[in-house]
Amino acid sequence: MSVTAPEGFEAAGVAVGLKSSGGPDVAVVVNRGPLKLGAAVFTSNRAKANPIIWSQQVIQDGVVEAIVLNSGGANCFTGSFGFQTTHQTAEKAAELLGISAGDVLICSTGLIGTGDEVFRAKVLDGTEQGIAQLSADGGEAASLAIMTTDSKPKRSVVAREGWSIGGMAKGAGMLAPGLATMLVVITTDAVLEAAEADSALRRATGITFDRLDSDGCMSTNDQVTLLVSGASGIRPEPADFAAALTEVCLDLAQQLQGDAEGASHDITIRVVHAASESDAVEVGRSVARNNLFKAAIFGNDPNWGRVLAAIGTTAAEFDPYDVDVWMNGVRVCSQGAPDASREEVDLTPRATDLLIDLRVGEATATILTNDLTHDYVHENSAYAT
């Protein structure tokens, strides 16, 4: 059920012909309350899509009653026409729901630089159809409607005693951090204040979506939204809510990683004994974005020299000649020198674990990435055709 698992939410997913592949392509999620609160984090890319520009304005007062999402077009770099399309979509939803357009978030995903009268008409039609089909069972259809190159929907639900959190996500390419990764909608029926929701979301995304770095390419449309209905009437302890929210975010992030375009390995990079968490993140991300390392993993080659070469480009505190590297449980490098034979490392499983021990402190961080494959290059060479 994803976003409609918590009480107080209705959703729908409808098909209006935005995607050439067919299937649902407009999703609507509505918060029936009694609380009508929301929080969101957005891409830090300076090149922002029109829905991001709109939603950043809407979220400022912490009140959100609905969110409309479309696939089949990013509505980015489409000029004033594109922003008017976003505005009209919010106004259409507001008119049909009897709410303010200033309480409607908009999200879009798809090809950048495309948008015309036909696109606008289909989005508005999808908004109208979606609102007409809203139901408490509409979460699954909504999760299908936001897919683009995804091979499967991403959904997650965590239930606690008397309250719950549900979520849906889309993303298979352009997965790199910038406060959020691709499009994610999370709902909860817990009782929270707007500031609490915002703080909890930023903490959770900071160690989940923001640590997913599949291909180093940051989208113009990334947005993670948390909607709060308070319908359970239960106010959880802040730590309990934060833990449950992080669990949902991590589950969705791992699903995004597992469906990355063309990937044959899901790589978990764990950096331990760093001087600071920021150092650990910088080191992990340097490896996640190193094409030579990613190509080696695709070829099942435990080339740990590429790991040391990658982390040597960072400003993190460590001695490159005092670093240990483990691949799938085998220590292949000890204190900057060869250790176990490469033949002992089995990289044929999809799940790949890389452990980097910097041996200078107590901080840790985990980065999620994928290998670089022929299929990834082929899919992205033909994305716009």
> Which residues belong to the active site?
181
What is the spatial distance between Cα 305 and Cα 339, in angstroms, rounded to a whole number?
A: 12
Residue 114 amino acid letter: T
**155: which residues sit within 8 A by CB, 6+ positions away?**
1, 2, 139, 140, 143, 166, 167, 168, 169
Residues near 182 by beta carbon (within 8 Å), at least 6 away in sequence: 109, 169, 170, 171, 174, 175, 219, 221, 222, 256
**What's the rounded Cα separation, in Å, for the pair 95 and 83?**
18
Label the pairing between strands 223-228 and 104-108: unpaired
Pairing of the two strands 163-170 and 183-188:
antiparallel
Structure tokens at 316: 């993190």
CB 266 within 8 A of CB 352: yes
CA-nearest of 175, 358, 376, 173 to 278 is 358
For residue 191, which of 329, 36, 333, 299 has the smallest C-alpha distance?
Answer: 36
Residue 7 CA neighbour count, 13 Å, CB half: 13
Question: DSSP readout, 8-67?
Answer: TEEEEEE--S-STT-S--EEEEEE--S--EEEEEE---SS--HHHHHHHHHGGGSB--EE
Instruction: Specify which residues 160 forms β-bridges with.
Output: 163
Tell me the pairing of strands 266-274 and 363-370: antiparallel
Angle between helices 50-58 and 79-97 (to 10 degrees): 50
